[in-house]
Amino acid sequence: MNDLIWQNNCPAPSPLRNWAQADSLTQTLSELADFSVKLKSFGKTSDFPYFADFRLPETMFGRSVILCLNDVPVVHAQSVCAMNSMWREILDCGTTPLGKILFSGSLKGLIRNEIQFAQPENYLLARRSWFEWQGERLYLVECFLQEIEKFITNVNSIK
């Protein structure tokens, strides 16, 4: 995983590129079909390989979810923050999409860095970024599963 090459240009072919570059994946996926979130894990973790090059502490606080369309898993997502971070309270949102909170406008002064992309094994594409709010960072990675192509293809054939 450490040998992934992260880049600012999305290497995915269209139409996936258009969806992957969206600011809010939650909003974008919600437009494709019935969107839902399944919580995989929540709490202390030392498993966050997509951020290995960030030199984060060995242990972080994390939330891993599966984003689904019509109950079909299409994205694996993980968010991590420092163990004592105020982000923990925000991550404690159960099956509420994190994007709904991040893009609601309620976190005044929220900053997001430029989204980076990579092509890990077992996924079509991965994208990652960090959000900074009140001096603390939340790291987010979203890995697209093959199944998302069915939904994107269906939407593009309708247009």
| pTM of the complete model | 0.92
Q: How confident is the model at residue 2 (pLDDT cuts 50, 70, 90)?
A: low
CATH assignment, 16-158:
3.40.1410.10
| For the chain, percent of residues with pLDDT exceeding 90 | 84
Nearest to 41 by CA among 88, 90, 87, 94: 94
Provide the sign of the torsion angle of the four alpha carbons 52, 54, 59, 62, taken in this order.
Answer: negative
CB atoms < 10 A from the CB of 45, how many? 16
SS3 138: strand
Average confidence (pLDDT) over 7-31: 91
pLDDT at residue 155 in the model: 60
Segment among 21-25, 41-45, 155-159 with least mean pLDDT? 155-159
Tell me the pLDDT tens digit for each residue of 62-104.
999 999 999 999 999 999 999 999 999 999 999 999 999 999 9
The chain-wide mean pLDDT, for the chain, equals 92
